[in-house]
């Protein structure tokens, strides 16, 4: 899919956030939060968009500042900024008492979890895909060599090689701000269904992150679905069918 029909939302800080909002009149809206260095054109986003279009359910996806076609550089961003981008957009575009389902992919789960307190009364479900809360500290900083840490502290940036084409720009700003956004030391008291997907062949984010995310929720209505041969993206057709199947359960009897 392309950026066709998408628009820009201007935040209070004058950041231009690219977004797409479909089926606005629906009483339920699925909100998709993408991952670090991603955008709103991935297979997961597109498949869930098609599902919502077919079911006539509201759907909103967007790109944090510094990602995709949104304004600013990714090196100027951090978890607090991207959380604020998402919060302002959702509050401005989804009016009234409409029900929300959050779907977070990798870093997107962290940002979605940050917003539970803002939309607690509207939320009716959460799906986490390869959830990576606190990845800046637990996956990156704690595993960096002294040499890499020194480069980040001195130069304020380090380009981290990975399995993708473009190295990740890891800034001192991103690391330090991540420490202000801890979620694993909290509990989330909700009664909504929580479904967490994690591929057992995920080379970027270990399963323990979904397990720790699972423990955050007091509800009994929660489960982790482990995909035996799944990687980090979980974007194969069979993965996406399982994700949409869980989404279908959350929306049944509501629309």
Per-residue pLDDT band for 162 (boundaries 50, 70, 90) equals confident
Kindly report the pTM of this predicted structure: 0.96
Task: Give pLDDT tens digits for 77-118.
Answer: 999 999 999 999 999 999 888 999 999 999 999 999 999 999
In terms of Cα–Cα distance, which of 126, 137, 99, 143 is closest to 191?
126
pLDDT > 60? residue 255: no
Give residue-wise pLDDT tens across range 2-53. Answer: 788 899 999 999 999 999 999 999 999 999 999 999 999 999 999 999 999 9
Six-digit token pair at 37? 């260095």
Contacts of 121 (CB under 8 A, 6+ apart): 97
Domain coordinates of the chain in residue numbers? 7-133+183-251
What superfamily in CATH does domain 7-133+183-251 come from?
Alpha/Beta hydrolase fold, catalytic domain (3.40.50.1820)
CA 12 to chain centre: 22
Q: Do 195 and 128 meet the contact criterion of CB atoms below 8 Å apart?
A: yes
pLDDT per position as a tens digit, 173-226: 999 999 999 999 999 999 999 999 999 999 999 999 999 999 999 999 999 999
User: What average pLDDT does the chain have?
Assistant: 95
Q: List pLDDT tens digits, range 120-134.
A: 999 999 999 999 999
């Amino acid at each position: 899919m392309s950026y066709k029909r998408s628009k820009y939302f201007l935040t209070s800080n004058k950041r231009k956030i690219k977004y797409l909002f479909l089926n606005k009149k629906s009483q339920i809206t699925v909100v998709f939060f993408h991952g670090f260095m991603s955008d709103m054109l991935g297979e997961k986003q597109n498949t869930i968009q098609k599902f919502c279009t077919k079911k006539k359910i509201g759907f909103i996806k967007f790109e944090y500042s510094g990602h995709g076609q949104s304004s600013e550089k990714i090196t100027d961003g951090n978890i607090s900024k991207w959380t604020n981008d998402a919060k302002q957009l959702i509050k401005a575009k989804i009016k009234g008492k409409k029900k929300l389902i959050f779907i977070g992919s990798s870093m997107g789960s962290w940002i979605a979890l940050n917003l539970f307190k803002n939309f607690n009364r509207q939320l009716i479900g959460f799906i986490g895909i390869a959830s990576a809360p606190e990845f800046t500290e637990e996956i990156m900083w704690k595993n960096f060599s002294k040499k890499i840490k020194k480069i980040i502290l001195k130069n304020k940036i380090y380009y981290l090689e990975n399995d993708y084409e473009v190295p990740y720009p890891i800034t001192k700003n991103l690391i330090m701000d991540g420490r202000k956004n801890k979620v694993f030391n909290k509990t989330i008291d909700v009664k909504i269904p929580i479904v967490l997907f994690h591929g057992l062949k995920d080379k970027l984010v270990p399963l323990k992150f979904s397990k720790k995310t699972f423990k955050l929720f007091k509800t009994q209505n929660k489960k982790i679905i482990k995909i035996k041969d799944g990687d980090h993206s979980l974007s194969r057709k069979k993965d996406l069918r399982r994700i949409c199947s869980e989404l279908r359960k959350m929306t049944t009897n509501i629309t």
